[in-house]
Structure 1
Amino acid sequence: MSAGLGVTVFMTGGSAMAAGPSADAAAASEAAAQPAAQQRLGSFFVHLGQHNQGQLTNQTVTKAQADAQAPRIEGPAQTIYSLNPAFVKGDAGATVARFSHMAVSARSASGQQATMWLNKNNKSWLVWNITSGSDETAYAAKAAGGTVFTEPQINAWYRLADGRVTGLNDTAVASVGKAGVTVAAYQRLVHTRYADKLPGSQYARSGRLGGFSPSTGVSKPAPDRGPAPALLALGAGGAVAAAAGIAVARRRRVQE
């Protein structure tokens, strides 16, 4: 199987937006540093190198090859929040974003960067995905008294503070403007984009894919753009598949 450019974003349960306890961050970092997780990370870096060289990534990785990558954890685990489908729908009292997963950055001996995604299974934190790059932890570290969250359907990163949503990357700035918008205005914007694509909608039942482009303002929906899909229906505890497209082309998940 060749390396893919798509990324699957799982919007997990838990609607509260309070930051994950520091004990959870420490436990996630500890889990990411375990030998099995490091072996998996080493294999990921081997396949990432193969992908970058245009090679197939379905080759077996030996322990020696994985060990040679000498992966190391960089920085503390960060709490990642994602756009809340209940907020999109307009449910009373719904938070703008909800907990998605913990993210831990890592680097190989050759300088390649990756991010490990962890979620809690009973009392243990487990690595369930690895992506290239370190955008998630870099943006999450910019909370500065607010809350950083992602709108994964367009790969936008925002900071919520003092009742305003402001953009942290170019896509987010294109979405809400340089000055940002109020929470109410942002709710209208994402409602326009995704409300008809929530679970149970005709869109979700039809299995259609629609590409979205961020646009400043809240009065016009971002148009479907046909064959370059960036969204499946927002899942209330399910999966949101961001298929290979412009918005997510920089996020790589290769076969581990």
Structure 2
Amino acid sequence: MSLRAAATTTVAALAAALAAALPVVVAGQAAATPVPQPPAATEGNRAAAREAAGSPGTLDTLSRFFAREGRISAAAARPRIEGETIPVHYLSPDFVAGRADAPVSRMEFLVSKAVSSDGQQAALWTAKTGAGWQVVNIATGDDEFRYGAVGARKLPGGTVFREPQIDAWYVSGGGRVLPLDEDAVRAVGDRGTTLAAYRARVVKAYGDKLPGSAYARGGKAGGYDAAAVAPGAPGAAGAGAGAPAEAVAAAAAAAGPAPGPESGLLPVIGAASAGAAVLALLGVRRVRRAQTTA
């Protein structure tokens, strides 16, 4: 089993790499500026996200992505989109802020699964932008789909969500929050906890790290520095579908290892209203580490 761990990098480096590697904006078009994400995944949203994931430009980028380590050639990768496009939920900043009736999580992006001819898998994060639904990140593996299935079995009808600050996955429903991986078990125990107790824990952990806090203004939000964002990021002018996907891997490699929870450098929750798909690309990369599903 594997799970992504967050690692910080510079806004400018990663935004530039993504602009070069992902076919989100072509030269001469207006920048794909972030916009608030829909509160739920409608059939129309899913269809638009899946269309973006399966576009010729995205598939071309995926071919190079799957070939980046030399296991297969780009020509032989023949990527395809499999299964349903699903919503991904993250811990909600409104819940952490203690706002009345705020749900524990909110939809941050939609994700589609890509598979290469040799069985490699990748998750295509798709978010709504000023230019429509676009692919904003490619991540190895199938965490979102795997934990979605685990959560559905553990609590049918519940909502699976991620607490990105500690890389933990949960399922919530009926006033309970249940763990889906070992990070979540460490946070809430193997039997889970009540929604009220979970709120108390995240308020204590992150209540002083919300947008607008001194922590955020001090630039400790996973390396996010608003002054460093190039105009129009993540879709900088001049980006095209023909640019090398290896730029993503190069930027990620330059970022170095992820800071552990003990470092105190936790990403600010809800750093922008556009959803973590667009936001994470401005200060976070995704890699994998060994992990056990609860």
Q: TM-score, normalised by structure 2?
A: 0.64
Question: Hey, what's the Cα distance between the residues in 2 that align with 1:153 and 1:201?
Answer: 16
Q: What's the secondary structure of 2:160's corresponding residue?
A: strand
The alpha-carbon distance between structure 1 residues 176 and 225, as it changes in their structure 2 partners (threshold 3 A), is: same
Aligned to 1:76: 84
The alpha-carbon distance between structure 1 residues 110 and 32, as it changes in their structure 2 partners (threshold 3 A), is: same
Letter in 1 for 2:107: F
Q: How many residues in Structure 1 have an aligned counterpart in Structure 2?
A: 214
Question: Hey, what's the Cα distance between the residues in 2 that align with 1:100 and 1:12?
Answer: 11
Instruction: Pick the aligned partner of 1:21 from 31, 38, 42.
Output: 42
Contact 2:113-2:142 at 8 Å conserved across structures:
yes
Contact 1:15-1:84 at 8 Å conserved across structures:
no
Q: What's the secondary structure of 1:174's corresponding residue?
A: helix
Aligned to 2:123: 115
Instruction: Pick the aligned partner of 1:176 from 188, 193, 197.
Output: 188
Report 1:78-227 matches (<5 A). Answer: 78-121=86-129, 124-141=132-149, 142-143=151-152, 144-208=156-220, 225-226=262-263
Q: What's the secondary structure of 2:165's corresponding residue?
A: helix
- Deviation, 1:70, is 0.8
Question: Hey, what's the Cα distance between the residues in 2 that align with 1:14 and 1:171?
Answer: 27
The alpha-carbon distance between structure 1 residues 32 and 242, as it changes in their structure 2 partners (threshold 3 A), is: closer
Contact 1:113-1:133 at 8 Å conserved across structures:
yes
Question: Hey, what's the Cα distance between the residues in 2 that align with 1:6 and 1:113?
Answer: 21
Letter in 2 for 1:112: Q
- Deviation, 1:186, is 0.8
Q: State the identity %.
A: 42
Letter in 1 for 2:165: Q
Question: Hey, what's the Cα distance between the residues in 1 that align with 2:209 and 2:165?
Answer: 12
- Deviation, 1:66, is 2.9
Q: What's the secondary structure of 2:199's corresponding residue?
A: helix
- Deviation, 1:179, is 1.5
Question: Hey, what's the Cα distance between the residues in 1 that align with 2:38 and 2:104?
Answer: 9
Question: Hey, what's the Cα distance between the residues in 1 that align with 2:113 and 2:175?
Answer: 30
Question: Hey, what's the Cα distance between the residues in 1 that align with 2:285 and 2:58?
Answer: 26
Q: What's the secondary structure of 2:207's corresponding residue?
A: helix
Per-residue Cα deviation, 1:26-84 (whole angstroms, up to 9, x for no partner): 3322321111111111121122x25xx8xxxxxxxxxx953321111121111101111
Aligned to 1:250: 289
What is the Cα-based RMSD across aligned positions, in Å? 3.1
- Deviation, 1:146, is 1.1
Letter in 2 for 1:91: R
Any unmatched runs of 5+ in structure 1? 54-63, 211-222, 252-256
The alpha-carbon distance between structure 1 residues 208 and 21, as it changes in their structure 2 partners (threshold 3 A), is: closer
The runs of at least 4 aligned residues of structure 1 exceeding 6 Å deviation read: none
Letter in 2 for 1:131: A
Contact 1:12-1:100 at 8 Å conserved across structures:
no
Contact 1:28-1:102 at 8 Å conserved across structures:
yes
Structure 2 residue 269 is matched with structure 1 residue 234: yes
Contact 2:6-2:284 at 8 Å conserved across structures:
no
The alpha-carbon distance between structure 1 residues 15 and 34, as it changes in their structure 2 partners (threshold 3 A), is: closer
- Deviation, 1:207, is 2.4
Contact 1:13-1:99 at 8 Å conserved across structures:
no
The alpha-carbon distance between structure 1 residues 6 and 45, as it changes in their structure 2 partners (threshold 3 A), is: farther
Question: Hey, what's the Cα distance between the residues in 1 that align with 2:82 and 2:38?
Answer: 28
Contact 1:12-1:99 at 8 Å conserved across structures:
no
- Deviation, 1:235, is 2.9
Higher RCO, 1 vs 2 (CA within 8 Å, ≥6 residues apart)? 2
Question: Hey, what's the Cα distance between the residues in 1 that align with 2:103 and 2:6?
Answer: 31
